[in-house]
Amino acid sequence: MGEPAQKKARTERTFLFSSESVNEGHPDKLCDQVSDAVLDACLKDDPKCKVACETVTKDNMVMVAGEITTQAKIDYEKVVRGVVAHIGFDSYVDDLASVDSKGLSDKTCEVLVRINKQSPDIAGGVHVGKDDMDVGAGDQGIMFGYASDETSDCMPLTHSMATRLGKMLTDVRKSGELWWLRPDGKTQVTIEYLQHKDGSVEPKKIHTVVISTQHAEPLKASRTKECAGYTGPDMTAPSMEDMNKEIEEKVIKRTLQEIKLKNGQPALTLYGSHTHLHINPSGKFIIGGPQGDAGLTGRKIIIDTYGGWGAHGGGAFSGKDPTKVDRSAAYICRQMAKSVVSSGLSARCLVQLSYAIGVAKPLSLFVETYGTEKGQLSVDDITNVLKIEFDCRPGAIAQSLALREPKYQDTAAYCHFGREAVTKNGIKFFEWENAKDLKKYASMSSDQVDAALKGSTYLKKWVD
């Protein structure tokens, strides 16, 4: 027998990683927003409603389908048209050669509704006759949350950047600054990272930026015709070359100035002559929205989460009330992961939960810190800290994150995570981004964490 192989020493390495996003006019994202607007309409009058709403769109048609049990009276057609108008889809011409069609019209689109009530089999197993804290999970499934210390909001920079580029495209369109932009659009960002010996990752430079955005006809489209309600002086859309220059200055550079790295510097410091730019690389992009591509709820789950970092359990979020753990448990997983990283217990963190339909306690909790844990704590200790500090039963999640409020349409575009936790009109938006302070555990030993776990009431909340 030869000598046992020595464990390979961890070394630094450089790698490229890419994330993509789409903005609110992408057909799949339009569907997410409609599904969540329906959920909000139900929650507004009936916080205990049970909602599972799917949306599909193609050409000048939007259909909502699913299972909804609510006391609220919902005008589905009004909800659908309101979302379409808010996004900016106000013209449809049934001709792929037309330069006037934006791909969907809030006024003329067909709205189909196929809604039934929740199955009594599911209702009986999940919530009927149960106390709020004992409500079971609405389905089985696995959910993940991720956080990384590379940015001030603990989001991976590739995804934060791709997401915010899409939001900036929308902002400069709606403000009129780049009036010739249209609602549909996609972004993609590749960043060169350095992975340190301790497992943490640091973005070193922005390698590539891809932006494909729907636009009006270059050198021909007029602002008064393109922008409904505009009454100022008329102007003509710029050339494709000038459009691309404007996008670099007013979308890319402006977005990068707003994103803060962990060293306090803006992400713009990683951008420069080394960055490859592909702006509308296919040429023109005039035909878009549901006319250019069909859309479905839940077809952008990686964009909704971490841009390919960490892991994903496969469940979509939009159109689901908080008993659906696909959504609510993914939110608490993010809060757990962000709490670990922002409290300095590790540089990166992935958290997984799993559930069985009708059962309140999670079946399992898994934590991965990629070797980046700090101080004396092991990954097992960090897992125990989360058991002490968090209650992941569906009823408890709904309560701690205030999930029975009508606030979900805001989550349905530009990622559910890395957003600012704010309270508007008494409603808490993105509450899962409020990390818990776990710093007191940083100086503890494993024995002290064990003692704290045994002294807590964790068995009420967790399967041991």
- In the annotation, is 100 catalytic? no
Query: How far apart, in whole angstroms, are the C-alpha atoms of residue 134 and residue 65?
Result: 29
3-state secondary structure the chain: CCCCCCCCCCCCEEEEEEEEEECCCCHHHHHHHHHHHHHHHHHHHCCCCEEEEEEEEECCEEEEEEEEECCCCCCHHHHHHHHHHHHCCEECCCCCCCCCCCCEECCCCEEEEEEECCCHHHHHHHCCCCCHHHCCECCCEEEEEEEECCECCCCCHHHHHHHHHHHHHHHHHHCCCCCCEEEEEEEEEEEEEEECCCCCEEEEEEEEEEEEEEECCCCCCEHHHHCCCCCCCCCECCCHHHHHHHHHHHHHHHHHHHCEECCCCEHHHHCCCCCEEEECCCCCCCCCHHHHCCEECCCCCCCCCCCCCCCCCCCCCCCECCCCHHHHHHHHHHHHHHHHHHCCCECEEEEEEEECECCCCCCEEEEECCCCECCCCCHHHHHHHHHHHCCCCHHHHHHHCCCCCCCCHHHCCCCCCCCCCEEECCEEECHHHCCCCCHHHCCCCHHHHHHHHHCCCHHHCCCC
Write down the catalytic residue from 102, 167, 186, 215: 186
- In the annotation, is 94 catalytic? no
- In the annotation, is 334 catalytic? no
Write down the catalytic residue from 59, 293, 389, 410: 293
Query: How far apart, in whole angstroms, are the C-alpha atoms of residue 119 and residue 67?
Result: 8
- In the annotation, is 396 catalytic? no
The phi, psi pair for 423, rounded to 5°, reads -115, 120
Write down the catalytic residue from 17, 29, 159, 338: 29
- In the annotation, is 262 catalytic? no
- In the annotation, is 324 catalytic? yes
- In the annotation, is 29 catalytic? yes
The phi, psi pair for 41, rounded to 5°, reads -60, -35
Contacts 24+ apart (CB under 8 A), 358-361: 358/125, 358/126, 358/136, 358/137, 359/136, 359/137, 360/133, 360/134, 360/135, 360/136, 360/137, 360/393, 360/394, 360/395, 361/393, 361/461, 361/462, 361/463
- In the annotation, is 424 catalytic? no
Write down the catalytic residue from 20, 26, 396, 430: 26
Q: Which of 348, 200, 213 is nearest to 286 (CA)?
A: 213
Which residue is it, tokens 């951008």?
271
Write down the catalytic residue from 44, 262, 299, 404: 299
Write down the catalytic residue from 67, 192, 198, 389: 67
- In the annotation, is 431 catalytic? no
- In the annotation, is 284 catalytic? no
Write down the catalytic residue from 164, 300, 361, 393: 300
Write down the catalytic residue from 123, 294, 356, 402: 294
- In the annotation, is 304 catalytic? no
Write down the catalytic residue from 20, 24, 46, 54: 54
Query: How far apart, in whole angstroms, are the C-alpha atoms of residue 419 and residue 159?
Result: 12
Write down the catalytic residue from 28, 36, 149, 373: 28
- In the annotation, is 436 catalytic? no
Write down the catalytic residue from 17, 89, 144, 285: 285
Write down the catalytic residue from 50, 173, 207, 324: 324
What residues are annotated to the active site?
26, 28-29, 54, 67, 186, 285, 293-294, 299-300, 320, 324, 326
